[in-house]
Amino acid sequence: MNIKEKDLEKISKNKNIENNSKNEEKNQKNLVPSQTKDFIPVQSIHKKKFPILYTLLLILAIILVLIFLIVIAYNSFNTNIISGVSIRGFDVSNLSKSDAKYQVDNYIKESLPEEIKLKHGDFEATISLSQIDATFDTKSASNSAYEIGRNGNIFHNTFYILSTMFGNVNIEPDLKIDKNQLRKNLEDISTQLPDTVIQSSYYVEDSNLIITSGKEGNVVDVENTIKNIKNSISDFSCKDNSIEICVKTQQPDPINIEKIHSEIYKEPVDAYFTQDPFCVYPSENGIDFNISIDEANSIISSEKKDEYIIPVKIIKPNITTNMIGTEAFPDLLSTFSTKYPVSNRNRTTNLILAANKINGTVLMPGETFSYNKVVGARTIAAGYKEAAIYVKGEVVDGLGGGICQVTSTLYNAAVYANLEIIQRTNHQFVPSYVTASRDATVVYGSIDFQFKNNRNYPIKLICSVSNGIANFQIFGLKQEDDCEVEISSYQTGKSATAIYSEAYKILKRDGKIIDKQLLSKDVYKRH
């Protein structure tokens, strides 16, 4: 191909390209208007929307980081409880632990009464909060309040600090109560209920076994009442409201003749003692039913009665303990006296009858003395007279009135002999013959006074009532480990309706205190 032909071919190609471009422009112009306006390339969408989203996320991240840093800085430099924290509903925000405890203690003290009131129908009783050591553990609560926002990792702490800014966190301090003391108070109250249960009981009078029937009644449901008391103290409702005593009906145990027979039956034993080693073997009366057990059961089952009499035979030993004399009980372990008005003949008669029942009683080591079992029921047949007693908070005449003075005198003598007190209950009112927490009351069938001979040798009780003085002496054999005993009793508080007191036994050796033991915490009604 020559040069001209090549040139012509180039010219032809350029024309074709030119024509194609023109055709494309025409096609573009001929497009439908709506198609040209709605068509947006995908690439342009990414360029417009994504930068805005990235910007918002970045701003949010910066804000969160700033908040996070602020919270960290706040937590690092703040030495107080964070904002939004309360203890028992009391705001402790921005307080130190010690200030929080101090202010919450005052708040609780103002919100609670000195004593709580208990009721069962018309019956009312009170219990001192200090006596049962009712306290809130505000120290632990303040520590817990301080640890909020501090005791986790950095994210956990930050979450708590932020959450308390928008919602309050309340810490309930634990309520602590001396349950043993509270349980004892409620058990004492149970015996004072006007409708309390009376258990059947028995005693030997001359040649008769006298069995008294029990009576259905109510007793304090101790555990449920404790729950009521704790709830009432916890929510502060006890300041203006009485707490209901939970009670449960209880039937007296049925009279069991076989059991009674096995408890009273014994052969007579002569008394004797040895010198080396020193040991006393007291006499014991023998006793047995004077009728068969079947006949005794027939008496009980024949009809329902308040009192049943079973004939018994007492078999005396040949040598009694009293016959041994002072050689068997050479040492005076303790003595205690109280005064009584000689002008009140009925009351004096009752004192003498009760004292004569106790006088000469010997307790072997480990043996327990029961006042009601030794003295027996206070009946007209036994010779008791009408004298003043306390009934439902009032002074009225009652059979056997005054014998609690014998109980109280013996109680003090037993404490001074350092004997173990098993059961002792205070009066409703402070008696005239001893001070508060030095008395002991008894009610036949429901309240007893008991102590145990916890010594290594037997003891003998000597009691006298004459010339206005009731006196108890306890004889035995002194031991190397014996201590001097003192009794410290004093009033701990007083309210409009009650008197509170405590008594302690102080043990000394060579004039130095070696032990101090709580005898009782008591509540008395005021006259």
pLDDT reading at 338 higher than 60? yes
pLDDT for 39 equals 46
Q: Which of 426, 424, 310, 308 is nearest to 370 (CA)?
A: 424
- Residue 281 inside a domain? The answer is no
> pLDDT confidence of 229, banded at 50, 70, 90?
very high
Say whether 240 sits in a helix, a strand or coil. Answer: coil
Instruction: Quickly count: other Cβ atoms within 10 Å of residue 151's Cβ.
Output: 11
> pLDDT confidence of 151, banded at 50, 70, 90?
low
pLDDT for 148 equals 80
CB burial class (10 A; 0-12, 13-18, 19+) of residue 208?
Answer: middle
Highest mean pLDDT among 25-39, 95-109, 278-292: 95-109
Check if the beta carbon of residue 367 is closer than 8 Å to that of residue 450: no
- Residue 262 inside a domain? The answer is no
Q: Where are the beta strands (DSSP E) in 340-495?
A: 362-363, 368-370, 386-391, 394-399, 420-423, 450-452, 459-466, 469-476, 484-494
Amino acid at 86: S
Q: What is the rounded CA–CA span in Å between residue 508 and residue 488?
A: 13
User: What's the predicted TM-score (pTM) here?
Assistant: 0.57
pLDDT reading at 209 higher than 60? yes
> pLDDT confidence of 396, banded at 50, 70, 90?
very low
- Residue 359 inside a domain? The answer is yes
Q: What is the mean pLDDT of the chain?
A: 84
> pLDDT confidence of 10, banded at 50, 70, 90?
low
pLDDT for 217 equals 94
- Residue 99 inside a domain? The answer is no
Pairing of strands 243-244, 115-120: parallel
- Helices (H) then strands (E): counts for the chain: 14, 28
The number of folded domains in the chain is 1
pLDDT reading at 35 higher than 50? no
- Residue 432 inside a domain? The answer is yes
pLDDT for 74 equals 59
pLDDT reading at 41 higher than 70? no
pLDDT reading at 234 higher than 50? yes
Q: Which domain holds residue 351?
A: 329-527
DSSP state of 318: S
Amino acid at 74: Y
Share of the chain above pLDDT 90, in %: 55
- Residue 492 inside a domain? The answer is yes
- Residue 2 inside a domain? The answer is no
- Residue 253 inside a domain? The answer is no
